Amino acid sequence: MMLPKIFVFVSLLFLNVYASESDVLELTDDDFTDELKRHENALVMFYAPWCGHCKRLKPEYAKAAELLIGNDPPITFAKVDCTESGKETCNKHSVSGYPTLKIFANGDLVGDYNGPREAPGIVKYMKAQVGPASKELVSEDCLKSFLDSNDVGVVGYFEKDDSPLSAAFHAVSKKLREKVRFAHTSNKKLLEKEGLSNNIVLYRPKILHNKFEANSVKYEDGDSINDVNNFITQNYFGIVGVRTRDNSAEFKNPLIVAYYSVDYVKNPKGTNYWRNRILKVAKDYPTFNFAISSKDDFQHELNDFGIDFVKGDKPVVLAKDAQGQKFVLKEEFSVDNFEKFVKALEAGELEPYLKSEPIPEDNNGNVKVAVAKNFDEIVTNNNKDTLIEFYAPWCGHCKKLAPVFDELGDKLANEDVEIVKFDATANDVPAPYEVRGFPTLFWAPKDSKNEPIKYEGGRELEDFIKYIAKHSTNALKGYDRKGKAVKAKNEEL
């Protein structure tokens, strides 16, 4: 009797998940110490079953464990339930949040895991944590095996492994081991075959080879650690880097990014088709940094540029200049349109994109509403001391603050002070304000709007009044400098 196709599919899927889960040890208070002593290197996840972040990490963690089976040296993955059988162990290791990941070597704590939370990133990070920072290559086959990778590789060729350049190379390998794969050799046959004796070479992975840049770059400068470090970091991504969620912070402005279906696992040919078109233009504009990114992984960035959905296969191109201003290629992507865009951006001829809600038609309330398009009018050039709240509509603390802020606006309606609120999720936050959580409040004195002060005081009405009364440029009419109400003359006896 044939099983239904859907049953077979679900069964295979279950078996695949089960197999991955079986590669992660479940440890308890009873066996944690003894079991870890048996393992040369181990990554341990301390978790709680109800934790949302733990649930998201769990499949990535299991996949990473599966990918590292057979690694040399071995890396074991384990987990501890801090709510049940591992309470004591979690307390012993000062676990205060979930998930917490820690690295162990033969049972001894090495340190906290501070790497990526996706399987490929976890694998790369853990490989960098174990064994020497640079792998020694003893034969041509070793070199071939090392370069057979989808990641950049840096190889040091040293006739004498105690040369100044070798010392700098090994120092940098220890510094960058979490990001870069390093290897070195002093094998005479290998040195002769490569025609190198005291050199460092950065090799680009075959999957990224193209006709616009060299497949490898030879280091030609001095022997200093700083020079070697700069050589690697400046050449690591090439002319057009593959920008992921794990490495996005390494791409600095001015930056031009092409967003499309970037997938080097399922569709390397299609991915490189568009990357090569970006390269064709990018090679002539060295003052910019260029990258490609998956449109699915960076939907939040597309949203920040007012793009809700990317239709079709062609890239969407977005850019930020050195000052962080945003620009959008409005025309459909083509090499010609892309080159015109980059040329105009370099010449300063493009109008920046500003994410903004519409300017309110009625803004006569005692708490003014600022949006990106009217921020200068409502805040920067209002000639008043200003208290600004940057909020998110969904934020519980912001909702709690709202009636207090409204009452504050009413209390100070006749003062030389403006109370302003700004939805930081629907509008670009202007410089020099920095918002990393909600609500964030700033005090902007009227004569120094370019140097706002982050408000760190209490959030009750009395707290705000005391702060404003003390810091206002001119004394308030209704309150003294200590924030105590001042009686009007007609109220005096």
Residue 390's closest CA among 355, 424, 433, 353?
424
Q: What is the pLDDT of residue 488?
A: 64
Q: What is the pLDDT of residue 282?
A: 98
CA distance 329 to 324: 16
Q: What is the pLDDT of residue 310?
A: 86
**Residues 6+ away with beta carbon under 8 Å from 306:** 328, 353, 355
**Residues 6+ away with beta carbon under 8 Å from 18:** none
Q: Name the burial class of residue 99, with classes exposed (0-12), middle (13-18) and buried (19+) by CB atoms within 10 angstroms of its CB.
A: buried
Q: Which of 54, 82, 90, 142 is catalytic?
A: 54
Q: Which of 51, 82, 90, 142 is catalytic?
A: 51
Q: Give yes or no: 54 in active site.
A: yes
pTM of the predicted model as reported, rounded to 2 decimal places: 0.74
Residue 160's closest CA among 140, 187, 200?
187
**Residues 6+ away with beta carbon under 8 Å from 480:** 469, 486
Residues in the chain predicted with pLDDT less than 50, given as ranges, are: 1-19, 492-493
Each residue of 454-485: pLDDT tens digit?
999 999 999 999 999 999 999 999 999 999 99
Residue carrying the six token digits 């996706």:
118
Each residue of 371-421: pLDDT tens digit?
999 999 999 999 999 999 999 999 999 999 999 999 999 999 999 999 999
Q: Give yes or no: 90 in active site.
A: no
CA distance 213 to 96: 48
Q: Which of 82, 90, 142, 398 is catalytic?
A: 398
Q: What is the pLDDT of residue 2?
A: 40
Q: What is the pLDDT of residue 8?
A: 39
Q: What is the pLDDT of residue 221?
A: 84
